[in-house]
Amino acid sequence: MFRVTKTFYWEAAHLLPLVPRDHKCGQLHGHSFRAEITLESDILRADGFIRDLAELAPVAKFIRENWDDSLLTISTEEMAVKLFDKAREACPETKRVRVYEGRTIWAEFEAHL
């Protein structure tokens, strides 16, 4: 089994409107976010790649245009599944997306197949 991972970074304000008011995520705060997108395959293409990771460019564009230096109102888990869907559109070998919210918390979405 081959795996390859590409990492993306963005900075954003964060506020979760559905948590109780005294919950720390209910107050405006910020994070340095990081996402790791992992592709997986049993075989390599003739060029030696699972897939050219340049094909994840639409994911970078989505993050830059929608999330970087923005106010995010979704959970880290929801970010993971959103990036998973974007990555899968570009690269069907996408297996897992892990989103780090700062240095101590991450959430992950993983395909069953």
Q: Which residues inside 2-41 make contact with Zn ion, applying CB under 5 A?
A: 14
**Residue 30, token pair as written in the block:** 């910020």
Q: Smallest gap, in angstroms, from Cβ of residue 16 to Zn ion?
A: 7
Q: Would you say 15 or 53 has its CB closer to Zn ion?
A: 15
Residue nearest to Zn ion (CB): 14
Q: Would you say 42 or 69 has its CB closer to Zn ion?
A: 69
Q: Smallest gap, in angstroms, from Cβ of residue 14 to Zn ion?
A: 3
3-state SS string over the chain? Answer: CEEEEEEEEEEEEECCCCCCCCCHHHCCEEEEEEEEEEEEECCCCCCCCCCCHHHHHHHHHHHHHHCCCEEECCCHHHHHHHHHHHHHHHCCCEEEEEEEECCCEEEEEECCC
Q: Would you say 93 or 101 has its CB closer to Zn ion?
A: 101
Q: Would you say 13 or 54 has its CB closer to Zn ion?
A: 13
Number of residues forming the site for Zn ion (CB under 5 A)? 1
The reply on whether position 95 binds Zn ion by CB under 5 A is no
Report the candidate in 63, 68, 92 with the shortest Cα–Cα distance to residue 80.
63
Binding residues for Zn ion, rule: CB under 5 A, are 14
